Structure 1
Amino acid sequence: MITLVDIVIVLIVGFYYLRKIGTRGPGLPPGPPTLPLVGNIHQFPKERLWLRFTEWSREYGGIVSLKIASQTAIIVTSPRIVRDLMDKRGKSLSNRPQMKLADSITDGLNIGFSQGHIWKLQRRAVQSLLSHEACNKHIPIQKAEAIQFAYDLLKDPKNFFEHTQRQFASVMLSTIFGTRCPRYENSLASEFFSIERDFDELLAPGAHPPIDVIPILQYVPERWAPWKTICRDLRRRQQTFYHRLMNACEQRMKNGRNNGCFLEDIINNRESMGLSREMVAYMGGVSLEGGSNTIATFIHRFILCMMCHPDTQRRGQDEVDKVVGPERMPQMEDIANMPYVQAIIKEVHRFYPTAPLAIPHSNATDESVDGYFIPKDSIVFMNIYGIYHNEELYDEPHTFRPERFLDSEFGTKADADITGLRSDIHFGSGRRICPGMHLANNAVVMNVLNLLWSFDMTKAKEDIRDPFCPITLEDFVPGLTIGPKPFECNIQPRSDKRAALIRAAFSEARSIFSMFEQELTDDEKVFVERW
């Protein structure tokens, strides 16, 4: 028989454990006050989470803890702690927190979010494909696409946003799947960016209820859970798109028309690598995601910064002219002699980083750093935005000023503690650092040099205050990655001679494009001939 005493004991024990949910346990890093059961959930904004994280880091220090019900979240805004916790303990911190929304779409096959054995297999394959040496083999198609981008700007400068997206989607489609897209409208590029935009918005921190920490939300009927409909639609669109690209690559190989794309090596060695067809399709698709949207948003930010800072643009153009001159277009190796242009690139990365919080990590074992306890399976955020806007590191961090990188290696104050700071910290940390950084750096350099050499980028309406100048966070689309909202920019060639050199270079690039145009539609073939 259950007695009244038994009931009272159960209630007392239950109350004791419920009271602990949402509270900050002993040894955790400091953080904002919590509420019972919910912890800090009520303090999370629905967008631009990195701003709140940065505010907390200023108040509580370089490592902060939060409670999301029973889950612990750690925010790291100190480069030294990033090094000590996330870089030096890469094996433990290589996990990802559970992300049910992403997994419901990708079956856990997206290398950005995958775990355990699947991630290790994918990482090994991707590292071999995206090594520095392997990326150098694909510089010709990157150069050719950068030249078409310049040519597109000559012909149709108003649509520079779409031209940018087309270029980088086409680069990644060519290097990974062996097929390119010569135009944006009704193409693989426009279809991809539609899928990617919806996927990015779905996964943005705070965009949807925290299903991972409140599992009961999984059982809410779909009519009251709009994210379920979004996930189902995205799953269908992603899988159809990635498999269509892989099937075309396999068919090309069967017909003996190989063109040296990344996926050919993977398909030939798939079984020995322990990879399924589904895994290969997602490896290709995720590489396309990582190399298209992120670089496109960088170039959008670059154009925006040049438009709003004409003195910076002019100084960069002067340096390019001094090294290159008007008789030829720039080459990648020219960047070595352009310290100010290098500084511009670094400042664009710092000013508004593409992924302000990267993708969160999770630790496989209990860890400790700076005397604080980090319990196993914590969600660990690397606050890249907060690092790059720390007033203890940078003078006037909210001001766009490339000159800071001429004064010091990392653009920091003379007396700043730069322990742990890396020039590539915007690419992430530890074993989860972006594997495509070499491909991205090549693309950035080519396009920045071409844009500065070829064009003047000015406000579309000089007599009316442009809402994007000065640049604020309100000008950016929030998401897992951020980029500027579409804006107007007057892009004009700097001289008729430079325009003629661009046209000639585009004509010469046809021989490189042709090997990646085997699957063009009839409409695209007509477009290529006309263009």
Structure 2
Amino acid sequence: MHLGTLEWPIHCVNHVKRSDRVDFMKLFWFHFFPGYFLLSKWVLQQIGARESYLPPGPPTIPLLGNLLDFPTSYAHLQFTEWAKQYGDIYSLKLATSNIIVISSAKMARDFLELRGSTTADRPPSHVAKIVYGEYELVFARHGPVWRKLRRVIHEILTREKCAQHVAVQKAEVSQLMYDILERPEDFYTHTRRFAASVILAVVFGIHCPTYENGFVAKLYSTLWEWEQVIRPGGVPPVDIFPILKYVPERWAAWKALCRDIRKNQRKIFFGLLDICEDRMNQDRRNDCFLEHVLDKREEYGLDCEMIAYVGGTLLEAGTETSAVNIQSFLEIDDVVGPSRTPELDDLDGLPYVRAIIKEVFRLRPIGPTGVPHATTADERIGPYVIPKGTTIFVNLWGIFRDEELYDNPHQFNPNRFLTSKFGTKPGADTTGCRNDLVFGSGRRICPGLHLANNSIALNAMNLLCGLNISPAKDPATGEIIPVNFSDNADSILLVPKPFKCEITARDPHKAEIIRAQFAAAKSTFDHFEHEHALKI
């Protein structure tokens, strides 16, 4: 008969004479129980403690580790402060879970690029599984489904395939310029409409001419809800303490929110897929990405569910593209001339505009801590062992503000990229530096970088060529209203809150060109579905 540790002395007591029981209980309480208590205490203290083979990090407390210290808002700022104290690689303990934060381009290359086979996983995410199942590409675990979806997206987002869609990107930029010219006070929603409409046109063959039609606003609302759920602290730590998954919904509002997000996302994803399939059945193709996926669905081995989520992943990833609004006019006038708007090919002759784009990427990375990786095997890096199942953050915010790499890293200075390939100061170790580091590392690098780069370049050139963008002024005092560059939405993405500025055409001739370009673009939009199709 097997007896538990605490059952054993009680069992023994029942088999001794009554007169001896008092002595036996004294023996138990004064000798056995203290040892048992000390052993239990020692075991509990080990939970949450940092193992000696891990990189250093903030002090831990029993059971929880660094859970109470882990930032739930603007994590990149705390990650960077810890990097200053503990170095380019440090560890955090969340109960029994391990987190590694990398704040060095060289370390990111050594760990994520050179060991991509064991660092391409994602950490488990219960909320992502609730919302997406297994078909969301960004947060999907490394496995056969991820590899299948990744192959599809890589094939449709090659540099050559993206070049076929420059025409619609140019047309969307022309509308953005026109919208800003006509209603400059609404530039924030104009840029949002542009970003959503570009990806809708390229992926689903649908043009969205207004923000107010409801679909784009609904899309951003759903995206915002998802970003709030997935950010650190958005839900209780269910991946660390799985028992929290079983808390009844009446005490766990996040469960209902996840269910609503999934419902809204699937309505959008499958509604867009239906529109695309109906158009193909009516022989009204417009060469969008999803048409190619549907044509090759058997070759790819995709079912309807997978196809909808391929399109949905691209839609969500492409709607947060930021517009570049910096001043630089002389170079553009010299290359482009006074009678037309910039083309993508003009970028080769515009080194300062290229420098502006790189500096914006450096100073304001859209995902300042990236999307975390996870290890699928034990790895050694320097003197440290990184166990299987460890979550890895690449702290881009900290890397791009490293004073050993950049002179005055907090200052906006595109000139740094005119004197150095990576904008680094003379003599700096540039191992691992990449101008596309903002798009991720290793096998999880964003497959949409070519499409995004084309949109950003066209935006930058056209905005700088056609518009004057200056700080807004107080109508009562005439004083400049400063823009707070730290006023960002509390999200996993670095998205500025709406702000004010003054936007005007550089001159009447530029205004005429902008209006003419938008009028000419209408023939391009005619090949796409319009907002009347979006009954979603």
Q: Does TM-score exceed 0.5, indicating one fold?
A: yes
Percent identity of the aligned residues? Answer: 43
> Which residue does the alignment assign to 2:8?
3
The 8 Å contact of residues 350 and 388 in structure 1, kept in 2 or not, is answered as yes
C-alpha separation between the residues in 1 aligned to 2:276 and 2:533?
A: 15
| 1:453 partner letter | C
Q: 2:188 aligns with which of 161, 168, 187?
A: 161
* Greater helix fraction, Structure 1 or Structure 2: 1
Asked whether 1:464 is paired with 2:479, we answer yes
Asked whether 1:113 is paired with 2:128, we answer no
Q: How does 1:259-408 map to 2 (within 5 A)?
A: 259-293=286-320, 295=321, 298-299=322-323, 302-303=324-325, 306=326, 313=327, 316-408=328-420
Displacement after TM superposition at 1:198 (Å): 1.2
Detail structure 1 runs of 4+ shifted over 4 Å in the superposition.
5-14
Displacement after TM superposition at 1:374 (Å): 0.3
> Which residue does the alignment assign to 1:513?
525
Q: 2:228 aligns with which of 184, 195, 201?
A: 201
Aligned-pair Cα RMSD in Å? 1.7
Kindly provide the CA deviation profile for residues 315-338 of structure 1, in whole angstroms up to 9, marking residues without a partner as x: x11111111121111111111111
Asked whether 1:257 is paired with 2:306, we answer no
| 1:372 partner letter | Y
Q: How does 1:376-525 map to 2 (within 5 A)?
A: 376-461=388-473, 463-468=478-483, 471-473=484-486, 475-517=487-529, 520=532
Displacement after TM superposition at 1:220 (Å): 1.7
C-alpha separation between the residues in 2 aligned to 1:322 and 1:379?
A: 49
Displacement after TM superposition at 1:465 (Å): 4.3
* SS of structure 1 residue aligned to 2:178: helix
Asked whether 1:65 is paired with 2:91, we answer yes
C-alpha separation between the residues in 2 aligned to 1:179 and 1:98?
A: 34
The 8 Å contact of residues 279 and 285 in structure 2, kept in 1 or not, is answered as yes
Asked whether 1:45 is paired with 2:50, we answer no
C-alpha separation between the residues in 2 aligned to 1:320 and 1:15?
A: 69
Kindly provide the CA deviation profile for residues 62-108 of structure 1, in whole angstroms up to 9, marking residues without a partner as x: 11011001000000011111011001111111100001111111112
| 2:182 partner letter | K
The 8 Å contact of residues 362 and 377 in structure 1, kept in 2 or not, is answered as yes
Kindly provide the CA deviation profile for residues 338-374 of structure 1, in whole angstroms up to 9, marking residues without a partner as x: 1111111111111111000111000100011112110
* SS of structure 1 residue aligned to 2:329: helix
> Which residue does the alignment assign to 1:310?
none
Displacement after TM superposition at 1:178 (Å): 1.1
* SS of structure 2 residue aligned to 1:477: coil
C-alpha separation between the residues in 2 aligned to 1:262 and 1:197?
A: 25
C-alpha separation between the residues in 2 aligned to 1:370 and 1:360?
A: 21
Q: 1:253 to 1:458 in 2, by over 3 A?
A: same
Kindly provide the CA deviation profile for residues 390-421 of structure 1, in whole angstroms up to 9, marking residues without a partner as x: 11111111111111111211111112111111
The 8 Å contact of residues 472 and 480 in structure 2, kept in 1 or not, is answered as no
> Which residue does the alignment assign to 1:28?
54
> Which residue does the alignment assign to 2:217?
190
The 8 Å contact of residues 181 and 187 in structure 1, kept in 2 or not, is answered as no
Kindly provide the CA deviation profile for residues 274-324 of structure 1, in whole angstroms up to 9, marking residues without a partner as x: 22211111110110111111x1xx21xx33xx3xxxxxx1xx111111111
C-alpha separation between the residues in 1 aligned to 2:200 and 2:318?
A: 10
Displacement after TM superposition at 1:223 (Å): 2.3
C-alpha separation between the residues in 1 aligned to 2:485 and 2:513?
A: 36
Displacement after TM superposition at 1:214 (Å): 1.4
Asked whether 1:84 is paired with 2:110, we answer yes
C-alpha separation between the residues in 1 aligned to 2:35 and 2:129?
A: 40
Please identify, of 248-257 and 121-130, the stretch whose mean Cα deviation from structure 2 is larger. 248-257
* SS of structure 2 residue aligned to 1:515: coil
Displacement after TM superposition at 1:22 (Å): 0.5
Kindly provide the CA deviation profile for residues 238-258 of structure 1, in whole angstroms up to 9, marking residues without a partner as x: 011110000111111111111
Q: 1:369 to 1:508 in 2, by over 3 A?
A: same
Displacement after TM superposition at 1:208 (Å): 2.7
* SS of structure 2 residue aligned to 1:516: coil
Count of aligned residue pairs for this structure pair: 505
Please identify, of 197-206 and 447-456, the stretch whose mean Cα deviation from structure 2 is larger. 197-206
Displacement after TM superposition at 1:9 (Å): 7.5
Displacement after TM superposition at 1:13 (Å): 5.2
Q: 1:178 to 1:7 in 2, by over 3 A?
A: farther
Bigger Rg over Cα: 2
Displacement after TM superposition at 1:11 (Å): 5.5
> Which residue does the alignment assign to 1:528?
none
The 8 Å contact of residues 477 and 483 in structure 1, kept in 2 or not, is answered as yes
Q: 1:180 aligns with which of 200, 207, 210?
A: 207
Displacement after TM superposition at 1:23 (Å): 0.6
| 1:26 partner letter | S
Displacement after TM superposition at 1:227 (Å): 1.3
TM-score normalized with structure 2 length: 0.91
C-alpha separation between the residues in 2 aligned to 1:250 and 1:14?
A: 62
C-alpha separation between the residues in 1 aligned to 2:204 and 2:36?
A: 60
| 2:237 partner letter | P
The 8 Å contact of residues 368 and 374 in structure 1, kept in 2 or not, is answered as yes
Structure 1, unmatched stretches of 5+, are 307-312, 524-531
> Which residue does the alignment assign to 1:147?
174
Displacement after TM superposition at 1:122 (Å): 0.4
Displacement after TM superposition at 1:437 (Å): 0.2
C-alpha separation between the residues in 2 aligned to 1:10 and 1:216?
A: 26
C-alpha separation between the residues in 2 aligned to 1:458 and 1:288?
A: 32
C-alpha separation between the residues in 2 aligned to 1:356 and 1:522?
A: 33
